[in-house]
Amino acid sequence: MPRYNLQKMIKLMLPGIFLMLLAPVIHSQLHDLNVIQQQLLNYMPPLLGGLAIILCISFNQGRLLLTTINLLCLFLLIQNQLQTSLSQPANFVLFSGLSLLFPLLQLFINFIPERGLSSRWLLRHLPVIISGYLFFWLAAQNHLLSAWFSALPVGLIQMFSDPYLLSQWAVYLFAVSTLLGLVILWFRATLADACLVIITLAIAAMLALFGETSVSVLSCTLGLILILFTVLFNSYSMAFIDELTGLPGRRALENTLRSAGRRYTLGMVDIDHFKKFNDTYGHDVGDQVLRMVASQMKQAARGASVFRYGGEEFTIVFKGMDEVSAIEIAEKVRTAIAAYPMRIRDKNRPGDEKKGRQQRNRSSRPEGTTEVTISIGLCEKTPQHKDSQAVIKQADEALYLAKQQGRNRSVASHIVQPRARKTSS
């Protein structure tokens, strides 16, 4: 198992793991709630669920929407039908059915590709989630469940481990759902997939400890909080993070400049002859170039913030620095990219990142690589600049001058003799 994939999975699961660790602490305090506070707590899952549904629809989070509905349906059925002892045959049958239905539906949701929301998409998937709970609700309303008790298989009657209340079949199904969810998380590596895995585990724990006071309210509330966090974080990423390079985008740049203070230097960066890469090798290679430049800029621009401005343009913000200090870092960024052996990906490229780095480091310019260079224009914020847009405009002018002087160089607006250190190809 490659280490970097494992680290990424753990990082994605940290918010959910934190909530699961917090749950026992919160549960220990629930005994001190009075009747009114307990009633207010019971309203939390429907309120949070309604908010989560609105946000999921607003930000086209289809799988999280289905998970929210799965969680809400489970909670509502528990609240309305399972508030008395499981020793009653009808309650035991309903509990056993729900312990199979929830992980089965989570397994179904895991395999759905995230393609946004549409009426057709909802009509295809929503009935699958609702129909199972509707079936059990109608059976409970018509007093049919107790008659099914004698027909339950041994796998649903026999508990997996005392004193926990999950049956053998339920444990197996939760285990399959969780393991396949982890496999999907491994390949997709999204926060939504991590959220689905954690919620599956949380509901398994809740059903196993079903005899504890308010355990269903607490588990569903924390699960819905995790969904809300995931939706909001995903919406933030879509608005502020460039998906291709992983760098903050132009909106994030605007926010940074508003709080950058009176002293900073801004660098506008452009990839030289970028159109050539797209025309010669295709847009896939062009995307490789953009990702490589972004990665090298993040590593080399120590003490500065890097942004994807748009197209083949990037921006570097040097907070608290004048042009003299900023151009030194800019030159490190420029030379790091110029010296990088950009290997065009092919079928023989190693899948492991460590092996890929070893292959690139075998020589300074291995066969089958190409050179990528950048030009940088810098401008220091001065009292003469009306706002950040004026700084960007002057940095753009310096960038244009760097292009005119032959590319692969850094030019600062207020330095009389701009540095022109061109790296030989």
Q: Active-site residue numbers? A: 312
Separation CA 37–CA 364 (nearest Å): 68
In one-letter notation, the amino acid at residue 9 is M
Q: Are 49 and 71 within 8 A, CB to CB?
A: yes
The gap from C-alpha 30 to its chain's centroid, in whole angstroms, comes to 32
In Å, how far are 30, 250, 269, 301, 414 from 315, measured between CA atoms?
50, 9, 6, 11, 18
Separation CA 318–CA 326 (nearest Å): 6
Which residues does 322 contact at the CB level (< 8 Å), separation at least 6? Answer: 263, 265, 380
Decide the pairing of beta strands 410-412 and 374-380.
parallel
Which residues does 400 contact at the CB level (< 8 Å), separation at least 6? Answer: 377
In one-letter notation, the amino acid at residue 339 is A
Q: Are 200 and 184 within 8 A, CB to CB?
A: no
Q: Are 228 and 236 within 8 A, CB to CB?
A: no
Which DSSP string do the residues of 51-107 spell out, in sequence order?
HHHHHHHHTT-HHHHHHHHHHHHHHHHHHHH-SS-TTSHHHHHHHHHHHHHHHHHHH
Separation CA 300–CA 412 (nearest Å): 18
Which residues does 333 contact at the CB level (< 8 Å), separation at least 6? Answer: 269, 296, 297, 300, 301, 316, 374, 376
Q: Are 272 and 402 within 8 A, CB to CB?
A: no
How buried is 332 (Cβ within 10 angstroms: 0-12 exposed, 13-18 middle, 19+ buried)?
A: middle
